[in-house]
Each structure stands twice: as structure tokens, then as C-alpha cells.
Amino acid sequence: MTVFLLFPIASLAQQEKIIKQDYHIDAVDSGIKLFVRSKMTQGNKKFTDENIVVFVHGATYPSTPDFDLGYQDYSWADWMVKRGYVVYMFDKRNYGFSTREKAMDEPAKSNKPVSRSYLVIRDIGAVVDHIRAKHKVKKVSLIGWSWGAMTAGYYTTLHSEKVHKLVLYAPAYAFALHTNLGPGSGLQNKRKPYEFNYGVGAYRTNSAAQNQGRWDGEIPLEDKSQYREQGVVDAFAAEALATDPTSNTRNPPALRAPNGVLEDTFQQLTGRRMWNASSIFVPTLVIAGEYDTWSFPDDREGLMRDLTNAPVKKSVLIKDATHFVLFEKKRFEFFNEILNFLKE
């Protein structure tokens, strides 16, 4: 009698080696180089409108600590590659490993906010067009987090023909009573209520303690370990600070983050919209954690109302999660919601 021994076999995608490539491309504007990272399985030769995703980072940190954190299994990019995707991410101008303009090396108060959204969507466009030409595809899918959701949405209102699907993770949008970013916040000129407070300068700095403080503030429990482990907090801070060569010149170490996002978000939340979701013509997912304080329910409800021309629109709330759900215990529920939307 023949005896067959059965052993669990990992999926082919999980067995294959993941290849990473880091390089720079020219931005649309002269003198600006954009850092780009790609990840895919070794030997992959399949490039289609459906299997390429581009991550778009948010307001404070660049792309690599956000989407490719080198700690345990926290790389969202690797998780997507193992499920058949070709993944790209990039740093917007004045972030991470992309070109930093002169104003970023001067005292912050010497200049007005840099990296305004109308320039950043040009950076998104440069990366999207680079990928389209490189892989001979017509479209890519965009996954934007926080301000990345806002700029990905803004870009798509102008170039829906280049976007397969759009994921807006934790977007602010047009909630006029936004307590952190709108009227009454530190972004408001107290003497002229509808004017932005240009006293914030060209950029701000952010330390590990500041980031953890914000994250802790969103978790509605005294025991923060119920939502996330301290190891990922520390790993993220270390990788993020390493993307700015000046971080260690400050005490405590802190990286620089452009303030163009703050000016544009204030304008967007005080009735002066840069873009309107009614000009998006692609399937769109709006998703956020329950306790997010950048993206309020009113923001997402407004987006869903305005997505009148999206052939498919879907809103998902991840319970017991924050703005940083991609690093929390609910991350796989979050990842799978996005994966299911992309595969529909």
C-alpha cells in the first residue's frame, strides 16, 4: 500500500523572493528629483492596469516608513506583493529622499509653506506617467493615506483616465467644523478668521515623542497595547527619522515636514476647495479607522455624497482603530478590505 504524506505548502507568491528597486526620476518641474521604490516578485513579467498600485504618503512622513516598514510583518507593500501586485511608492518633493528646496534648509519662519498640493499632484503625475511608460499600461490604482488621500483624489479629478481604482484612506475633505485643521485651530489667523496663519512657516519638525503622543491620543483606552505594540511605534520612528539627514541635529531628533499641506487643508475645510469628488470617474473606496482625528465621519460622508460620477463607491469603517490602523492589530482586516475592493 502506498502512503502519501501531506505537508502544508505555502502559496507560490509567499515562496518567491521580493525584489526591491530604489531610484530617482525627474519631476515635471526642473531641478526636482523624486525618489521612487518598486517592489515585486522576482521574475515577474505581468504588468496590467489591474495589478499595479501606487501608494501616496501623507502630511508628515515619506513613503518608505509608511508603506514598507522593515519591522516583522508590518510592510504593507510586501503584503500586497505576496498577493500578486506590483507596488510603487514615492516621496513628494521636500520629503524623504526626494529633492528638498532651498526653503527647507532655511529657518522655517523665513518662507511661506512649501509643497503645496497643486505642485504635489504634478509629482504624482510624474510617477504615474513613468510607471505607465515603463510597464506599457494605461492605468494604475492609487492608494492614498491622509493628505495622500486628498492629493490622490485631487489628481484623479484631473486624470481619471490614468487611474484604475482609487483608495482614499483617512481623507479630510470639506468638514467645516474640523477642530484640528479648520476654523478655531492653530492654522487660523486669529485676527482674520478666514486667513491662514502664515506664522507656521515653510515647514515644521516632528519627533518620535510627538508622533506617539498623537497616536496615543486617538486610542480611547489607557492600555495602548490593546491597539498596537510598542515595538512598531519605535521601529516606525527610527525609520522615519532616518529619512531626513538633519534629524539628529535637533534635540530631541526630529525630521522636517513641509507645511503646504496645512495651508491647503485649511483652505479646503473653510469653503475654498481645491477639488471636488464629483469630478472623479473611477471606482472609489473611502476607508478609515473609527477614532481617526484627521478624517472625521463628516469628511467621508461629504465625499460619498460628492462621488456622483464614480461608477462604484464604497465607504468602510474599521472599528477599534485609529489614523494609524496600518500599524495596529486591526491592520489585516483593513488590508483585506482594500484588497477585496481592488479585486472586485
What structural domains and CATH numbers belong to the chain?
Answer: 14-343 (3.40.50.1820)
The answer, yes or no, to whether residue 263 has pLDDT greater than 50, is yes
Rg (CA), the chain: 20
Q: With a threshold of 0.75, does the pTM exceed it?
A: yes
pLDDT (mean) for 219-241: 98
pLDDT (mean) for 249-277: 94
pLDDT value at residue 5: 40
Residue 236 grid coordinates? 516606525
Output DSSP code: residue 248: G
Q: Which residues of 36-57 are buried (b: 16+ CB within 10 A; e: fewer)?
A: bbbbbbeebeebebbbbbbbbb
Q: Answer positive or negative: Cα dihedral of 76, 338, 227, 10.
A: negative
Residue 267 grid coordinates? 483652505
pLDDT (mean) for 272-278: 94
Residue 321 grid coordinates? 482603530
pLDDT value at residue 15: 63
Q: Contact 139/115 with Cβ under 8 angstroms?
A: no
The phi-psi region of residue 296 (left if phi > 0; otherwise alpha if psi is between -120 and 50; otherwise beta) is: beta
pLDDT band at 3 (very low <50, low <70, confident <90, very high): very low
Q: Contact 265/259 with Cβ under 8 angstroms?
A: no
pLDDT (mean) for 263-272: 90
pLDDT tens-digit readout, 48-67:
999 999 999 999 999 999 99
The answer, yes or no, to whether residue 78 has pLDDT greater than 70, is yes
